[in-house]
C-alpha cells in the first residue's frame, strides 16, 4: 500500500437502501479507499456482506476496495473476494491456523495482503509475518459492530508497529486503524504512526463532504 495518508470510509455505516448514492457521494468527497467488512456471524456476532456485494460496488466506483474478512477460515473466501474486485484483503490472524499460507495466497491472486490485530492480540504474535504483508490493520474497537468508542491504549500498538519499521527497513507495511475514528482520534493515530484511517459512523449519515474534509484537514494539520 502507498504510505501517504488515506481516508477509508466504512461501507458498514452507509445507508443500506441508498448505497450507490452514498458510495458515489463519498468518492466525490475525496474517499481514498472504501472499507468493506465481510462478516460470517461466526468469527464475529454479526452477519453482513459477501463477495457479490464487493462485485456490485466495483461496478459503481473505481476507488480501491479495502476488504476486511471477519470470518472463520478466510482461505475459503479469497478467490471470490479478489475476483469480485478487492484490491487489499485483510485477514484476522486469529481466524485461521495457516495465516502465513493465507497471506501468500492473497499475493498469488494478485491482491495486496493485510493482517488484522484485535484489541487483545499482540504485535509479538505476528512478527514472522511483518516482512511479507502490505498492511497491518489495528482494530481500535472490538470487531463486529460500528459506532463503538475508540480504545485509547491501541495507540501503543500502533507505536510498536511504527518502531519496528524504523528498526527493519524491509518492513514496508502500511498501518491502518479501524474503529472510533473521528477528527480527534485520527490525530492520535497519525501521531502514533498510522497512515490509513477507516471511518464509518463519523462519515455516513452526515454531510459527507464536510466530514471527509474534517478528517483530511486533521491529517494535514498534524503533518504541518
State the catalytic residues.
37, 178
State the Cα angle at 175 between 51 and 106, rounded to 5°.
35
CA 188 to chain centre: 17
Taking alpha carbons only, the member of 148, 94, 140 closest to residue 121 is 94
Helix or strand (DSSP H, E) at 188: helix 185-192
| β pairing state of 174-178 and 135-139 | parallel
Alpha-carbon span 150 to 169, nearest angstrom: 30
* Adjacency order of strands within the sheet including 65-70: 6-9, 196-199, 174-178, 135-139, 112-117, 88-92, 65-70, 34-39
| β pairing state of 65-70 and 34-39 | parallel
Q: Which residue has the cell 464509518?
A: 200
Q: Which residues contact 33 (CB under 8 A, 6 or more apart)?
A: 6, 7, 8, 63, 64, 65, 66, 87, 88, 196
φ, ψ of residue 37 to 5 degrees: the values are -90, 120
Amino acid at each position: 500500500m502507498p504510505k501517504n495518508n488515506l481516508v477509508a470510509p466504512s461501507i458498514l455505516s452507509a445507508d443500506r437502501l441508498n448505497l450507490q448514492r452514498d458510495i458515489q457521494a463519498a468518492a466525490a468527497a475525496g474517499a481514498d479507499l472504501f472499507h468493506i467488512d465481510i462478516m460470517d456471524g461466526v468469527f464475529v456476532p454479526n452477519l453482513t456482506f459477501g463477495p457479490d456485494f464487493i462485485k456490485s460496488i466495483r461496478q459503481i466506483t473505481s476507488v480501491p476496495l479495502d476488504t476486511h474478512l471477519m470470518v472463520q477460515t478466510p482461505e475459503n473466501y479469497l478467490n471470490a473476494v479478489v475476483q469480485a474486485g478487492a484490491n487489499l484483503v485483510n485477514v484476522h490472524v486469529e481466524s485461521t491456523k495457516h495465516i502465513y499460507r493465507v497471506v501468500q495466497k492473497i499475493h498469488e491472486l494478485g491482491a495486496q495482503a493485510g493482517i488484522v490485530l484485535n484489541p487483545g492480540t499482540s504485535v509479538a504474535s505476528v512478527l514472522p509475518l511483518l516482512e511479507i504483508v502490505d498492511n497491518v490493520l489495528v482494530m481500535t474497537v472490538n470487531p463486529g459492530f460500528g459506532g463503538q468508542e475508540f480504545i485509547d491504549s491501541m495507540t501503543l500498538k500502533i507505536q510498536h508497529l511504527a518502531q519496528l519499521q524504523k528498526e527493519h527497513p524491509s518492513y514496508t507495511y502500511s498501518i491502518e486503524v479501524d474503529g472510533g475514528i473521528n477528527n480527534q482520534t485520527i490525530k492520535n493515530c497519525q501521531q502514533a504512526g498510522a497512515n490509513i484511517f477507516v471511518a464509518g459512523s463519523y462519515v455516513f449519515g452526515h454531510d459527507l463532504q464536510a466530514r471527509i474534509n474534517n478528517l483530511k484537514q486533521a491529517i494535514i494539520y498534524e503533518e504541518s
